[in-house]
Copies of this chain bind each other. A is one copy, B any other.
């Protein structure tokens, strides 16, 4: 069976001038991959008719499916629909269902409707209209010379609704899809080169239809095995054998045997042990608790955090001693120890994480340059403190600190 291939075309100047980061393509690729359809090209172009026509032609020449997002808003910078009419040699007509949807949305919001909203229910006559239950711009499904084209709005949750409701099931019945399966091992504590060295023989011994990829992610390294095959069960079995072998080879550095975040790893561990956690955050400003609570069901093990940015707040909420701050500074082993003890007392949790550092770009000194961070993790009996010297920008320093601290707590819980 030959691979079913997809091109994603994203339309919009905001993607080209860097005002918007393209998250749609990643989401689409994940969904298609899960059903064995391969995204082999992504192309981003601006709101320019010539570029859109050229991209449609070019991508249809190399792919079975062309998915188009963006360029369908109610305002004047959108030229996608007229261009689709030209490409498919058709004209705009009003769609009853799309009009009802627009009317319904404006009625339920108690807003008057404008001509430009009515215009959103105009669609190329040659397409199958896909109703958008999350917004005013409908999706459009075209077929031409054996290729499938779908045009969708660029707003992520609208696009996702259209894909889930219609496009994915429709593609599933339209194509006999091959199996493409992934299994991912998350590791920590060993560099990419060293892991690769250890896996030399393993990699050389992989069958041709299974590929290994190295995906560094902050302080973690993800190893992904991908298998391709005609038969899903056979492919899954072959992948499983190799994945078991990979797990055995990397048992000492394994964080998780599925592709989950460090927040999810920690959450699963706490749930399994029936324990609770809280955080005392200075330099991360709530990033750790925000990541922990990003996970549905985290209320089972997360009770709260004290984000203590100011020294006076560290003293008042966490009981850090003014003498400690005066003698050692807010970024010190002594201070994070007292923050940790304070968090355990204040939040009444089994475990806690405390961090204090200088994330930049300013605030560094010769003794404590930008990037210096102290962290403490522990419970009422044990405390582990770690110092790091990070060398990135503010955002990345904050995120690295959060990942490192959560990983330290993970290790402590497992000891």
Contact = CB atoms under 8 A, between A and B. Distances in A.
A336 to B, nearest CB: 16
A130 to B, nearest CB: 19
Contacts of A392: 157
A81 interface: no
Given A18-B27, A116-B193, A42 B43 contact: yes
A310 B292 CA distance: 14
A286 interface: yes
A2 to B, nearest CB: 15
B77 A214 contact: yes
- Oligomeric state, in copies: 2
Given A42-B44, A77-B213, A114-B196, 7 more contacts: A14-B224, A15-B29, A18-B25, A155-B216, A285-B294, A286-B290, A302-B310
A388 interface: no
B157 A214 contact: no
Contacts of A42: 15-16, 42-44
A346 interface: yes
A296 B19 contact: no
Interface string A301-312: 011111111101
A117 B193 contact: yes
A212 B396 CA distance: 33
Which one of A25, A77, A293 has the highest number of Cβ atoms from chain B below 10 Å of its Cβ?
A: A293
28 contacts: A13-B213, A15-B25, A16-B38, A17-B182, A18-B25, A18-B33, A18-B39, A19-B26, A19-B224, A22-B22, A22-B25, A22-B26, A25-B44, A41-B45, A42-B44, A73-B216, A75-B192, A77-B211, A117-B193, A156-B396, A157-B393, A157-B396, A279-B307, A284-B293, A285-B289, A294-B395, A303-B310, A305-B305
A16 B40 contact: yes
A347 interface: yes
A197 interface: yes
Nearest to A115: B197
B45 A212 contact: no
A46 interface: yes
A89 interface: no
A412 B334 CA distance: 40
A323 B370 CA distance: 47
A192 B317 contact: no
Given A17-B33, A296-B394, A310-B299, A214 B75 contact: yes
Interface of A: 13-23, 25-31, 33, 38-46, 48, 51, 73-77, 111, 114, 116-117, 134, 155-157, 182, 191-194, 196-197, 203, 211-216, 222, 224, 226, 259, 279, 281, 284-290, 292-294, 296-299, 302-310, 312-313, 316-317, 346-348, 360-362, 391-396, 398
B289 A307 contact: yes
Nearest to A215: B14
Given A33-B17, A46-B40, A194-B114, A313 B309 contact: no
A323 to B, nearest CB: 21
Contacts of A39: 16-18
Give the top 7 A-B pairs by smallest Cβ distance, nearest first: A285-B293, A286-B286, A18-B29, A18-B30, A286-B289, A305-B307, A42-B44
A293 to B, nearest CB: 3
A110 to B, nearest CB: 12
B21 A21 contact: yes
A211 B77 CA distance: 8
A316 B192 contact: no
B191 A73 contact: no
B26 A18 contact: yes
Nearest to A398: B294
A274 to B, nearest CB: 15
Contacts of A30: 17-19
Contact of A44 (B13, B33, B41, B293): B41
